[in-house]
């Protein structure tokens, strides 16, 4: 206020003169002393020092960075804080990071997964150590290593720095990296993005009135919305509209105003004031002066809170109008007469003070304190001689029972001397810099705010928002407990609680209103003992009160009401806090009254930390006082209300109305929770699958660390499988939104966390094990048939397993998908397309994967691959169907019932998507045909109005029965809210203007004239005292001017609406964002399951029969001539033993033998000759990876030392090619001795190997000199000098086998062979197999349409088909004999109630603080002072309890619930 005087002086007495003010400012020596930079955005304390004196500055003189001038044209300011020290920047810290419960659950799961991964790695490492000890370093009698081909020249097979076992451990740990689904977080983020997008664009959560849509500010918490157990809600502005209206006032014994009136009715109070009631004048003057309201340029009130604006506006109706405020002068008009008051000091409102007061100088020169605030604060400071306190208490109780917000208004006359002394203290306190200023100002205010004289009571109405009661009822039906935290009186809060259905009729309402710790202890102990007695938690029945408020009948309908002072005492003591928590857990509703913002946050923290397992909490509010509560809860929801955007800005989600909370939780929350759980379980499942396939294959590769997949193929797995599950995570809907809203009990799936628990995780682990076994071992046992048609190589075999795995896990996505939309199908199509495109592109990208070159093309070109690609995933899917059928038949969940009931209730809406699309196309075609005659909605409104005007003019409008009855009774007709009410011409014309400007329709001026005339006539009948209207010409002129003015305004409004309103369903994008795409949604009922299994079983039988027929046409005959033949005998082959054994000395000469083979069947050309090896580990990691693909491709003749792990040097000579595989080539040779037959040794390798992949180095064969030993020199008699690397036997050998038993092509016979023909082969044996217990065989085969000999595959398919059909038959019989009742509305309710009761019984949660309650009650405290205090409190409690029981015996009344004493009467 003092700074205002300086401001006037700087302006030179000419208000608003900027030039003079600037000149005078530069002439003054000003010094500012202010507080150091801080983040308190609502406070500023400083002292401005000048020659005129010191001036106290506060937040009222402080402009924040980014402020906008509204009520003044210019300001001259001094920059106090700049840059990073400004308050705005200091308050721009990131909000507290909230991680969802599901995220934390995943973290805990990952700990277990990592341990499991380490276990698998350790098992693989142990297997390697055992195999290495037995095979790698075991020597025969002659001193040779068993696996000599892995250890050239007897060298160690390891070049690791670490020990072999440790190196293998880390190798497998890296190889099994997919066991920990790191991609899960990426997938979750993508899905969270779409889930947040759907919330932001939900048209059903868009408020037309405020043009506000819902907003998801923390998309990672979208699924958390489906798990809420406790809601902590503010009342004012959250449950209510925060549109305050002064309804009643009480002055002395008289109450003025009516609750049902539109505003404050002033006729009675004005009449009493005219009769000389001075108290009324003082009361109204106080409300008109004691506030901080300002007026803008248009004269509208701008207030810090809606309450103040309502009070000022209300007294204006009584003739006490606040006009303006300039500095310390407040100008009011009392019945048209201007009066000015000088505000000398303002004691501001705070949540602690709960009151505000001003010291003003009256026009007559006297000083008076005007104050208003909470009743308990004002009563405590009243004059002791006040005798009307009781009557005002009655007024307060009556207003509170009506749900009105109450304030007490009082004043105190101040003498000049007292004011002078007090003002000096006030100025000194206000000029204090630092944190002490607030404390000192509070102490100074206490000195003056005493001996008050009550003037009256104000009662403000804050109406409930629309549909609040239904919303709360649905949330309660969903099992969510609601805590209402408000600053209102107890009676007001309870009344509002009943009106909004927070409190239900028949509820037992417990009250905690005491402030004395002893009484609180007594009350809490009594209630807790009763509660435990009812729950039978005490074995000693004598220890339980026999009578009390808590009985079994009302235990399920408990409500607790607690006040802020009581809560403060409870929160200061762990013992009392524990009892409160135990009591509140049993209550369905808790209402906390007169609580501060900090207490709100403490209540949220108490529930979060005290209840185990920790429940998911949600806090919702609309004001700055709700910020701490919103940030403390798991999920914070802010409402964009009249108190600003503070709550919305710090919240995780924001909505414009409380009623949208039920859709946010029950629909979006539930959908998102179930979607995310599906996604998480699926990601763990598919990653377990691919890792387990690697683990199984490790056993076939001697646990050497070999991956069955190519490295880039392995990396691509998550890309191929990501899109379909993303579609499920974003779009899947188990039931429609309408069904969820109809059955809120379905929300229990998330609230009880039924979709992500230990049993489901174990179930998916079991499925992953079964599926991975099927995916690996089906091709494994079909290996010889695959190897016969060149699909047995390591690259091809691994890619077959990979392809089957991708299809199997993708089929599972299709199985768990409930809602099939165009987007879902598109994602599936893109996923398969991505797989094939990747294979085809990577398969010809030689530089990226030389060993993978042409593998997909070889694989896709073989029919047997497509048979395997059907059989393996379909077998895995059959297991899923069986498990799902068993679960739904014998362990159905409420969700299963809901999906079936949803389908039955909406059969008409669930059609084939193509039909919907075709219907839509037809409809669009019809609309285009009629486009020239189409009528827009705005045009239809004009048409309707025109017709109504015409009919009224002709007298042909028929009134409905309700209207005629109302007119007959002489009552005023209620105007419809969704039409046009012809109450006066302005309304009609405004409506017409609005329609015309938006539809560009030219309306005849005569039509407007008729509309105005009819409305004028109706207005005259309703209000006969109104003056006659203007002439028609003037009226038409006004219309034209008004049209032009409104056109720009309406266009701006339409543009603004378009920018905020989510798109509707008129476009594909709108339907997508509204999640209302055309869908096919049919649950997997037993009938559907039986049909699917029958079809799949028949397909298995058909294909299995074809495969067996093809295998019968593929001939297979062998001669085993060296080493161990146990493998062939075990596999069921007919073994023809002949001996061509090479002595054990390795590489010591050769042996030539003749082998004869008599054909048992006809063989049609081409007949292929193979050589077979057993127990030869070409798939050993070091053996497989130690090669130089560049060298084989001819790009370098001299391999860089070290590129091949095992390159061999002999002095300065380097042997080519490098690598174990190339240096251990199988070098037995075969020659067909039949003179009439020819065995060709060309065209046995892949065509791409012959034409592209294998090339001799530049300068070959001239480079084969003393420095280089070429391939033909390494294998004399096998590789010719001309061929070199292009020798096809070498090419075949370098395509390493996937298993340790394999066969490679050696030649082919292009002539038909007959049964009984004898083939004679000359075999030159060149290396031994005895050291590694291997075996050699000569094999002759022919192929059929399916490829090689695939008898096992055909037989397996037939067996699986039979099993599937038998399963379908069993299901059919079961359905015929004892069918399960499909989901109905009653079944949903019964299942939900059953689950809720079971869960409530199971989850009688223990509270941390209460866990010590029994011990503390029994043994006391170890601390002696606390022990004594505890014993004293127990004695007092026992005495009070005895008194209460005596009173109870004397009374013949029911239990008294509550009361100010807070005990059982």
Question: Which residues are tagged catalytic?
Answer: 234
Q: Measured on CA atoms in the order 598, 599, 605, 610, is the torsion positive or negative?
A: positive
Q: What's the rounded Cα separation, in Å, for the pair 950 and 944?
A: 10
Is the distance from CB of 754 to CB of 1402 less than 8 angstroms? no
Q: What's the rounded Cα separation, in Å, for the pair 95 and 76?
A: 34
Q: What's the rounded Cα separation, in Å, for the pair 616 and 52?
A: 60
Greatest C-alpha distance within the chain:
142
Is the distance from CB of 529 to CB of 1437 less than 8 angstroms? no
**Strand partners of residue 294:** 302
Task: Please give the distance of CA 223 from its chain centroid, rounded to a whole number.
Answer: 3
Nearest to 460 by CA among 643, 306, 657: 306
Q: In sequence order, which residues have a C-beta less than 8 Å from that of residue 148 and are 6 or more positions away?
A: 1146, 1331, 1332
DSSP code at position 143: S
CA dist 829 → 812, 866, 918 (Å): 15, 18, 21
Q: What's the rounded Cα separation, in Å, for the pair 634 and 617?
A: 5
Count the residues in the chain: 1465
Q: What's the rounded Cα separation, in Å, for the pair 533 and 1042?
A: 75
Nearest to 852 by CA among 902, 908, 802, 896: 802
Is the distance from CB of 697 to CB of 800 less than 8 angstroms? no
DSSP code at position 1245: S
In this structure, what are the phi and psi dihedrals at residue 313, rounded to the nearest 5 degrees? -65, -35
Q: How far apart, in Å, do the first and last CA atoms of the chain sit?
A: 55
Q: Measured on CA atoms in the order 655, 660, 663, 669, is the torsion positive or negative?
A: positive
In this structure, what are the phi and psi dihedrals at residue 1190, rounded to the nearest 5 degrees? -65, -40
Q: What's the rounded Cα separation, in Å, for the pair 82 and 90?
A: 11
CA dist 256 → 267, 370, 561, 563, 956 (Å): 9, 21, 30, 29, 47
Pairing of strands 1318-1325, 1268-1269: unpaired
Q: In 552-585, which positions are buried (b, 16+ CB within 10 angstroms) versus exposed (e)?
A: eeeeebbbbbbbbbbbbbbbeeebbbbbbbbbbb
Pairing of strands 1302-1309, 1167-1174: antiparallel
DSSP code at position 203: G
CA dist 387 → 382, 383, 390, 1387 (Å): 10, 9, 7, 64
CA dist 1030 → 619, 983, 1005, 1355 (Å): 56, 17, 16, 99
Run of H or E including 1127: helix 1126-1130
SS3 512: strand
Q: What's the rounded Cα separation, in Å, for the pair 1073 and 193?
A: 12
Cα-based torsion angle of the residue sequence 808, 813, 819, 821 in order, rounded to the nearest 10 degrees: -70
Query: Within 13 Å of residue 873, how many CA atoms lie on the same side as its CB?
Result: 22
């Amino acid at each position: 206020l003092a700074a205002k005087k300086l401001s006037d002086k700087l302006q030179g007495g000419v208000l608003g003169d900027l030039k003079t003010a600037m000149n005078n400012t530069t002439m003054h020596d000003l010094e500012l002393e202010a507080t150091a930079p801080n983040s308190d955005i609502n406070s500023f304390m400083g002292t401005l020092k000048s020659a005129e004196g010191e001036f106290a500055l506060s937040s009222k003189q402080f402009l924040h960075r980014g402020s906008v001038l509204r009520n003044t044209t210019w300001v001259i300011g001094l920059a106090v804080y700049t840059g990073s020290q400004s308050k705005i920047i200091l308050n721009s810290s990131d909000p507290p990071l909230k991680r969802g419960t599901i995220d934390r659950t995943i973290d805990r799961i990952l700990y277990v997964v990592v341990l499991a991964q380490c276990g698998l790695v350790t098992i693989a490492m142990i297997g390697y150590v055992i195999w290495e000890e037995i095979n790698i370093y075991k020597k025969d009698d002659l001193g040779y290593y068993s696996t000599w081909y892995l250890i050239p020249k007897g060298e160690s097979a390891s070049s690791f720095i670490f020990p072999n076992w440790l190196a293998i451990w880390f190798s497998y740990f890296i190889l099994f990296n997919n066991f920990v689904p790191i991609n899960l977080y990426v997938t979750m983020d993508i899905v969270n993005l779409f889930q947040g997008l759907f919330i932001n664009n939900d048209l059903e959560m868009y408020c037309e009135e405020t043009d506000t849509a819902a907003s998801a500010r923390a998309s990672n918490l979208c699924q958390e919305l489906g798990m809420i157990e406790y809601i902590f809600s503010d009342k004012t502005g959250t449950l209510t509209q925060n549109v305050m209206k002064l309804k009643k006032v009480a002055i002395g014994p008289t109450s003025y105003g009516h609750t049902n009136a539109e505003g404050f009715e002033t006729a009675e109070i004005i009449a009493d004031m005219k009769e000389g009631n001075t108290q009324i004048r003082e009361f109204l003057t106080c409300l008109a002066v004691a506030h901080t309201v300002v007026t803008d340029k248009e004269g509208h009130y701008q207030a810090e809170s809606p309450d103040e604006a309502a009070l000022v506006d209300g007294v204006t109706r009584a003739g006490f109008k606040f006009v303006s405020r300039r500095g310390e002068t407040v100008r009011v008009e009392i019945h048209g007469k201007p009066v000015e008051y000088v505000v000398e000091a303002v004691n501001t409102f705070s949540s602690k003070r709960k009151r505000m007061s001003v010291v003003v100088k009256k026009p007559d020169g006297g000083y008076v304190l005007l104050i208003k605030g909470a009743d308990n604060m004002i009563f405590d400071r009243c004059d002791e001689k006040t005798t009307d306190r009781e009557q005002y208490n009655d007024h307060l109780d009556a207003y509170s029972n009506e749900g009105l917000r109450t304030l007490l208004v009082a004043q105190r006359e101040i003498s000049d001397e007292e004011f002078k002394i007090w003002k000096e203290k006030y100025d000194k306190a206000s000029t204090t810099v630092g944190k002490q200023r607030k404390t000192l100002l509070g102490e100074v205010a206490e000195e003056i705010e005493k001996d008050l004289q009550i003037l009256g009571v104000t009662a403000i109405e804050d109406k409930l928002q629309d549909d609040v009661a239904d919303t709360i009822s649905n949330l309660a039906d969903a099992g969510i407990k609601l805590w209402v935290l408000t600053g209102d009186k107890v009676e007001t809060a309870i009344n509002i609680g009943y009106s909004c259905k927070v409190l239900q009729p028949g509820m037992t309402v417990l009250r905690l209103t005491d402030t004395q710790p002893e009484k609180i202890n007594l009350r809490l102990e009594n209630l807790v003992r009763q509660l435990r007695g009812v729950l039978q938690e005490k074995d000693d029945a004598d220890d339980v009160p026999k009578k009390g408020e808590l009985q079994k009948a009302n235990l399920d309908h408990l409500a607790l009401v607690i006040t802020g002072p009581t809560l403060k005492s409870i929160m200061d003591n762990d013992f009392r806090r524990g009892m409160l928590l135990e009591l509140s857990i049993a209550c369905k509703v808790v209402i906390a009254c007169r609580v501060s913002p900090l207490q709100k946050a403490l209540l949220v923290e108490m529930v979060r930390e005290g209840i185990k397992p920790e429940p998911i909490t949600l806090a919702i509010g609309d004001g700055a006082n709700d910020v701490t509560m919103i940030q403390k809860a798991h999920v914070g929801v802010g409402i964009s209300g009249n108190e600003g955007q503070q709550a919305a800005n710090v919240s995780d989600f924001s909505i414009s109305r409380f009623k949208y909370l039920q859709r946010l939780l029950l629909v979006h929350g539930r959908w998102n929770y179930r979607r995310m759980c599906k996604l998480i379980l699926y990601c763990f499942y598919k990653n377990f699958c691919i890792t387990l396939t690697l683990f199984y294959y490790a056993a076939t590769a001697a646990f050497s660390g070999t991956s069955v997949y190519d490295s880039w193929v392995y990396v691509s797995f998550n890309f191929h499988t990501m899109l379909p599950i993303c579609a499920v995570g974003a779009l899947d809907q188990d039931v429609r939104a309408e069904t969820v809203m109809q059955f809120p009990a379905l929300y229990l799936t998330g609230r009880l966390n039924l979709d992500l628990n230990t049993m489901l995780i174990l179930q998916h682990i079991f499925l992953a094990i079964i599926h991975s076994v099927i995916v690996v071992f089906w091709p494994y046992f079909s290996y010889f048939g695959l190897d016969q048609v060149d699909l047995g190589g390591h690259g091809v075999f691994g890619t077959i397993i990979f392809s089957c795995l991708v299809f199997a896990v993708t089929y599972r996505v299709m199985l768990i998908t409930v809602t099939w939309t165009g987007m879902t199908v598109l994602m599936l199509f893109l996923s398969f397309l991505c797989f094939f495109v990747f294979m085809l592109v990577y398969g010809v990208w030689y530089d990226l994967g030389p060993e993978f070159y042409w593998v997909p093309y070889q694989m896709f070109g073989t029919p047997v691959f497509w048979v395997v690609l059907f059989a393996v995933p379909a077998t895995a899917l059959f297991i899923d169907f069986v498990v799902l059928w068993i679960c739904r038949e014998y362990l159905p969940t409420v969700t299963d019932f809901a999906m079936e009931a949803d389908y039955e209730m909406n059969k008409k809406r669930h059609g084939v998507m193509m039909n919907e699309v075709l219907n839509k196309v037809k409809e669009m075609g019809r609309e285009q045909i009629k486009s020239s005659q189409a009528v827009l909605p705005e045009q239809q409104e004009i048409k309707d109005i025109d017709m109504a005007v015409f009919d009224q003019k002709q007298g042909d409008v028929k009134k409905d029965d309700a209207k005629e009855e109302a007119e007959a009774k002489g009552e005023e007709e209620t105007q419809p809210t969704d039409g046009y009410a012809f109450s006066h011409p302005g309304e009609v014309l405004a409506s017409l203007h609005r329609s015309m400007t938006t539809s560009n329709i030219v309306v005849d001026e005569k039509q407007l004239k008729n509309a105005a005339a009819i409305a004028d006539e109706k207005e005259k009948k309703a209000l006969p005292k109104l003056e006659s209207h203007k002439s028609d010409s003037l009226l038409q002129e006004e219309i034209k001017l008004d049209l032009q003015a409104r056109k720009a305004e309406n266009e701006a409004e339409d543009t603004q609406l378009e920018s905020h309103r989510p798109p509707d369903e008129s476009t594909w994008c709108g339907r997508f964002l509204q999640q209302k795409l055309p869908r096919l949604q049919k649950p997997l009922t037993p009938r559907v399951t039986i049909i699917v299994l029958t079809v799949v079983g028949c397909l298995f039988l058909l294909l299995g029969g074809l495969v067996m027929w093809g295998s019968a046409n593929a001939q297979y005959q062998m001669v085993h001539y060296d080493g161990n033949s146990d493998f062939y005998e075990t596999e069921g082959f007919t073994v023809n033993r002949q001996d061509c054994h090479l002595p054990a000395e390795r590489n010591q000469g050769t042996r030539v033998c003749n082998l004869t083979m008599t054909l048992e069947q006809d063989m049609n050309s081409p007949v292929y000759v193979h050589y077979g090896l057993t127990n030869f580990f070409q798939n050993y990691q070091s053996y497989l990876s130690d090669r130089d693909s560049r060298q084989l491709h001819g790009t370098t003749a001299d391999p860089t030392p070290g590129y091949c792990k095992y390159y061999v040097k002999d002095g300065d000579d380097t042997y080519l090619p490098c690598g174990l595989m190339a240096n251990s080539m199988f070098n037995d040779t075969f020659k067909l001795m039949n003179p009439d037959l020819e065995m060709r040794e060309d065209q046995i390798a892949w065509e791409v190997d012959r034409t592209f992949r294998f090339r001799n180095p530049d300068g070959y064969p001239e480079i084969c000199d003393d420095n280089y030993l070429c391939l033909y020199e390494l294998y004399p008699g096998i590789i010719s000098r001309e061929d070199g690397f292009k020798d096809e036997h070498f090419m075949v050998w370098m395509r390493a086998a996937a298993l340790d038993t394999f066969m490679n092509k050696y030649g082919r016979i292009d002539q038909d062979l007959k049964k009984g023909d004898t083939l004679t082969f000359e075999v030159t044996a060149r290396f031994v197999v005895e050291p590694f217990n291997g075996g050699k065989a000569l094999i002759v085969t022919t192929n059929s349409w399916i490829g090689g000999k695939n008898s096992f595959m055909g037989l397996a398919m037939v067996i699986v088909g039979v099993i599937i059909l038998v399963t379908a038959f069993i299901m059919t019989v079961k359905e015929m004999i004892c069918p399960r009742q499909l989901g109905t509305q009653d079944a949903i309710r019964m299942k939900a109630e059953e689950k809720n009761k079971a869960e409530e019984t199971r989850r009688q949660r223990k509270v941390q603080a209460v866990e010590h309650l029994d011990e503390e009650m029994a043994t006391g405290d170890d601390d002696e002072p606390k022990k004594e205090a505890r014993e004293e409190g127990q004695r007092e409690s026992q005495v009070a309890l005895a008194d209460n029981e005596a009173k109870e015996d004397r009374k013949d009344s029911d239990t008294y619930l509550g009361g100010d004493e807070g005990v059982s009467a």
